[in-house]
Amino acid sequence: MTDTSITMDLGRDYPEIREAVARVCEGFPGEYWRRLEDDRAYPEEFVATLTREGWLAALIPTEYGGSGLPLRAAAVILETIHASGCNAGACHAQMYVMGTLLRHGSEAQKQRYLPAIAAGELRLQAFGVTEPSTGSDTTQIKTRAVRDGDHFIIDGQKLWTSRALQSDLMLLLARTTPVDEITKRGNGLSVFLVDLAKAVGNGVEIRPVDAMINHNTTEIFIDNLKVPADSIVGEEGKGFWHILDGMNAERILIAAEALGDSRWFTAKASAYAT
């Protein structure tokens, strides 16, 4: 039997969230987004509003100042943003990048950063993983971190790191054990939580990348960057496995955005056709 119940209406779970997020989006019509695209600009006002209303802290546990909502609720937030004609691409990383910090960060790291992120005092929007010479094989990245006492010295390059110019913090994946010394593919990589305010000009240079669509993406050059050893998130050498906690959430959340896009575009096309 054919299911005739399928519609283009939004889902029915979390109705309060859907209604509240849609109200926020009403203040940012198409003209706002077209102007940003023409100017290749970042939607500061939109991101600030989402932060102020608490939506970007949805996945942060309540003990750190967030809402403590499940991943499904975060998907609803992003789906609604896109179904309303807005674009969460400028800030959605703050939801999924935090998965690595939430699951593997030390209590000291979580106490230091999560309340400030939830309050909008800090932004964690940048995920430094992709490199120009390794394609999609993350296990083969070349960025190297060498221990120097109670610090690490990092050298390398990252590409397609979106929002690095609008972020205070960046999760950076680097190799801490040479490939010829590891026994399991994926081991030997570590995740560092980098304070970009301190790093830029002191070993880090960020350059915008001009792309067909305004994604605020960048390339990052790292030369003799010195970071504290306690900036490692989780276990040294297990960073590849740690970042999967963020990447798995990323796939789900971006899929939710695509659902929202499909609803928005279908509604617009149907209205135009009739």
pLDDT digits over 172-183, tens only?
999 999 999 998
Residues 130 and 227 in one domain: yes
Average pLDDT, the chain: 93
> Does 52 have pLDDT greater than 80?
yes
- Does residue 32 fall inside a structural domain? yes
Residues 142 and 228 in one domain: yes
* pTM reported for the whole predicted model: 0.90
In b/e form, how buried is each residue of 181-220, taking b as 16+ CB within 10 angstroms?
A: eeeeeebbbbbbbbebeebbeebbebeeeeeeebebbbbb
CATH at residue 30: 1.10.540.10
Residues 266 and 221 in one domain: no
pLDDT at 137: 87
Half-sphere exposure of 207 (CA within 13 A, CB side): 9
| Beta carbons of 175 and 128 less than 8 angstroms apart | no
Residues 20 and 88 in one domain: yes
> Does 53 have pLDDT greater than 50?
yes
Residues 153 and 254 in one domain: no
Handedness of CA 31, 78, 100, 176 (dihedral sign): negative
Residues 54 and 147 in one domain: no
pLDDT, mean of residues 150-170? 97
pLDDT, mean of residues 29-38? 94
Residues 127 and 229 in one domain: yes
Range of the domain at 92: 15-98+249-273
Residues 231 and 135 in one domain: yes
pLDDT digits over 89-128, tens only?
999 999 998 889 999 999 999 999 999 999 999 999 999 9
- Does residue 128 fall inside a structural domain? yes
Residues 68 and 171 in one domain: no
- Does residue 10 fall inside a structural domain? no
Q: How many domains does the chain have?
A: 2
- Contacts with 86 (C-beta within 8 Å, 6 or more apart), sequence order: 25, 28, 33, 46
> Does 259 have pLDDT greater than 70?
yes
pLDDT digits over 193-220, tens only?
999 999 999 999 999 998 777 678 999 9
Residues 133 and 218 in one domain: yes
Residues 70 and 164 in one domain: no
- Does residue 144 fall inside a structural domain? yes
